[in-house]
Amino acid sequence: MEQIQEQIIRTEYAELMQKSYIDYAMSVIISRALPDVRDGLKPVQRRTLYDMYELGIRYDKPYRKCARIVGDTMGKYHPHGDSSIYEALVVMAQDFKKSMPLVDGHGNFGSIEGDGAAAMRYTEARLKKVAQEAFLNDLDKNVVDFVPNFDETEKEPSVLPVKVPNLLVNGADGIAVGMATSIPPHNLGEVIDAARALLKNPELTTRELMQYLPGPDFPTGGIVVNQDDLAAIYETGTGKIRIRGRVELEKAKGGKEKLVITEIPYPMIGANIGKFLNDIAALVESRKTTDIVDISNQSSKEGIRIVLELKKGADAENLKNMLYKKTRLEDTFGVNMLAVADGRPETLSLRQALEYSIEFQYELTTRKYRTLLSREQDKKEIQEGLIKACDVIDLIIEILRGSKDLKEARACLTEGNTGKIQFKSEKSRKQAAKLSFTERQASAILEMRLYKLIGLEVQALMKEHETTLKNIATYEDILENHKSMTRVIDRELAQFKKEYAAPRKTSIENAAEAVFEEKKVEETPVVFLMNRYGYAKVIDVPAYERNKEAADAESSYVIPCMNTDRICIFTNTGKMHSLKVLDLPYGKFRDKGAPIDNYSNYSSSAELLVGVCSMESLKERRLLFGTKTGMVKIVRGEEFVTANRTVAATRLAEGDELLQAALLEENEQVVLQSAQGCFLKMPLEEIPEKKKAAFGVRGMKLGEKDFLEAVYVYQSRTEMTITYKEKEISLNRLKTGARDTKGTKIRV
């Protein structure tokens, strides 16, 4: 048996990881996430469009099932899963995402409100006319390189011969490794105007180009409000565009008015529309505004229409500004014009993006007219041979009749070789010896049908020859004269603008910062109620007084406070969470309320609640803290007055927990109870006052494995009874002891 020799390759692990990760990153950047600056398409989009073209799913042909398109694309060109291909196909058909949709979808292709498209087995699609004419038309003219597909069984174009600056028209977004692209869509007509201007005058600056292309044109419309920032954004290729939705004021019945949102910011499309409606509802619930009486989303296929009905006398302008400030009706679009240029990712200015597109147009036009010139020259050669053949047709017929096979006839036509051919006369042989047709001409003559000898056919051949000569002259002029080629590109761009350009949807202006006057909340007394399940609500004082008995019985915490106050929640982790009373649901006594977790950083799943009070009541009073390990202290409440949502209320040793955070009054007694049944009653004077960052002092000596279980605070003249292991114990009757003693053992 032959010994297999083991070969161990030693390499630095860090170098191997670095190389592997760079290879992966570049694969994602170049082959998946970023568009090519030349055609503005990512590989999945390019492959899908090419596959539809190959399948013959043209704009003037019937729709075909998307599942067929996706399957064919995946099998031939894009082996990355069907969901990514179908998603790319759907997005190219959505007119609310793309300024110039490239796919004509038939069926449910999703909605602007975030509804997903139907499954690919239900939907159908075909190419749009613009996609076919501007993206795919010249593929048969050798204008782009074709490369092998993933398994080298097919060929696919490395880039599509796109005749318009699609990167700017449709924009792009994608997340690669360590980089992302976000290019806003623009108006087709304006992009073509800018490209034509740069074509005629290559010295134009970005700012001069902006006379033709003033800014983005989002398919959802809206208003760009930072016009002065656009020049810097287009110079650098990065920045933030502020965009607002369009709001109109309409009259309603009874002298009322309503705000109607007819256009939304581009970043709001999808689930953010629902979030926007929830944000408005939250403003109403939290009483930040009382001017809105009803919200309805009346959007349809015709467009966006979100109606806010206002109460009579409402300040509509102030409310509009509040929507801009407090909701996503004003949003930002982060621009990062990153694309693959010359095989590497590059952040482009507006001028650079147009330059790359124009350079690509010159390359496409050069290759196209070289191919056309070659074809016309081939036609010219054949036509000249046929014309010459018509003049000596009798001789050619004689050669054909005298030849034994095709090879002899061809040799005679091309080389004048008459050796084995039988002629009627020596004169014919001499004439035949002078023939010198080319191989291509000889093939055309041998394949020519007799009807071509009809007079009219000969005339048509002569006319066709003249046309061919004119075409050759035209093509040579285009290829040899830069100005002629520029005119051809300019003419094509003008034609696309004429046929496909649409009016601008997005307005561009300089708008002042949205400023609204927040109405000062009228300070009123209310009652905070929270049940044992952590559901909280706020009711007015009369409602509480009417239901006092039920409220006290059903609620774990009943705290009278002002509506401008804050509620403080102390937890066993030693934290204090605070929340505004105004944020809590305000309503009737029988309303359920909402979980306190929704309005604060408190988490009922991770923390236990050990004390609740209002911040106003803290200011002039003191707090008693007691922990599981028996540590106690008193802290002045003013230390906890803060606007922060969460602060450390006390310092805890490792493994310790806070058991009680109780507001203190005069003449109160404290009782500490351990898990093993020891009770220590002491006056408040025994417990020192400390800062909130202190540990405190030992309140009770605990036995081995014993720990504090409860801390009770009560008025010395008030009877207080607790139940300990089914035995009722009156705290008033306990013997008063000193701090840091064992207390009294209760036997059950």
What residues form DSSP beta bridges with 162? none
List the single range of 616-620, 653-657, 663-667 with lowest mean pLDDT: 663-667
Structure tokens at 673: 């109870």
Residue 490 is predicted with a pLDDT of: 96
CA of residue 499 relative to chain centroid, distance: 30
pLDDT at 1 over 50: no
pLDDT of residue 516: 66
* pTM for the whole structure: 0.76
Q: pLDDT for 582-605, tens place per residue? A: 888 887 888 888 899 888 888 888
Q: What is the mean pLDDT of residues 48-71?
A: 96
Interval 301-314: pLDDT, tens: 888 999 999 988 88
Residue 125's pLDDT is: 97
Q: Which two tokens stand for residue 650?
A: 């006390």
Which of helix, strand or coil describes residue 341? strand
* Structural domains of the chain in order of their starting residue, each with its CATH number: 41-161 (3.90.199.10), 246-328 (3.30.1360.40), 356-499 (1.10.268.10), 520-612 (no CATH), 620-637+651-748 (2.120.10.90)
User: How confident is the model over 516-525, as a mean pLDDT?
Assistant: 74
What is the distance between the alpha carbons of residues 338 and 335, in angstroms, rounded to a whole number?
A: 9
Q: Token pair for residue 168?
A: 């700017």
DSSP classification of residue 283 = H
Amino acid at 126: R
Q: Is the pLDDT of residue 513 over 80?
A: no
Q: 90 or 736: whose pLDDT is higher?
A: 90
Among 331-335, 425-429, 467-471, 698-702, which stretch is predicted with the lowest mean pLDDT? 425-429
d(CA 386, CA 352): 51
Given strand 557-562, what is the order of strands in its sheet?
557-562, 525-530, 535-540, 594-595
At position 520, the amino acid (one-letter code) is: K
Q: What is the mean pLDDT of residues 256-263?
A: 92
Contact residues for 737 (Cβ-Cβ < 8 A; gap 6+): 680, 681, 682, 743, 744
**DSSP letters spanning 463-505:** HHHHHHHHHHHHHHHHHH-HHHHHHHHHHHHHHHHHHH-----
Span 438-446, mean pLDDT?
87
Task: For tokens 């708008």, name the residue.
Answer: 511
**Arithmetic mean of pLDDT, 245-268:** 90
Q: Is 234 a catalytic residue?
A: no
Question: Mean pLDDT, to the nearest integer, of 719-747?
Answer: 86
Instruction: Show the CA angle centred on residue 55, arms to residues 54 and 61, nearest 5°.
Output: 115
Q: Which DSSP category does 265 fall into?
A: -
Distance of alpha carbon 162 from alpha carbon 138, whole angstroms: 9
CA distance 308 to 283: 13
- Is pLDDT above 90 for 7? no
Residue type, 364: L
User: H or E segment at 126?
Assistant: strand 124-127
The 8-class DSSP code of residue 689 comes to B
Average pLDDT taken over every residue of the chain: 90
* Count of other CB atoms within 10 angstroms of residue 48: 29
More confident residue, 200 or 422: 200
Handedness of CA 467, 473, 474, 479 (dihedral sign): positive
- The contacts of residue 662 (CB under 8 Å, 6+ apart) are 611, 623, 624, 711, 713
DSSP code, position 119? P
pLDDT tens profile 145-193: 999 999 999 999 999 999 999 999 999 999 888 889 999 999 999 999 9
- The whole-number pLDDT of residue 178 equals 84
Contact 398, 379 (CB under 8 A): no
Residue 606 to residues 573, 593, 609, 646, Cα–Cα distance (Å): 9, 21, 10, 15
**12 CB contacts (<8 Å, ≥6 apart)?**
none
Catalytic position from the list 13, 122, 234, 602: 122
Contact 107, 122 (CB under 8 A): yes
pLDDT digits 0-9 by tens, 343-374: 899 999 999 999 999 999 999 999 999 999 99
Largest CA-CA distance found in the chain, in angstroms, rounded:
152
What are the tens digits of pLDDT across the range 399-437? Answer: 888 888 888 888 888 888 887 788 878 888 888 888 888
N-term to C-term CA, the chain: 85
| Weakest-pLDDT range from 8-12, 63-67, 675-679 | 8-12
pLDDT tens profile 443-478: 888 888 777 667 667 788 889 899 999 999 999 999
- In this model, does residue 246 exceed pLDDT 90? yes
What is the DSSP code string of 137-184? TTGGGT-S-EEE-TTSSSEEESS---SS-HHHHH-EEEE-SS-EEEE-
Tens digits of residue pLDDT in 375-404:
999 999 988 888 888 888 888 888 888 888
What is the pairing mode between strands 507-508 and 223-224?
parallel
Helix (H, G, I), strand (E, B) or coil at 15: helix
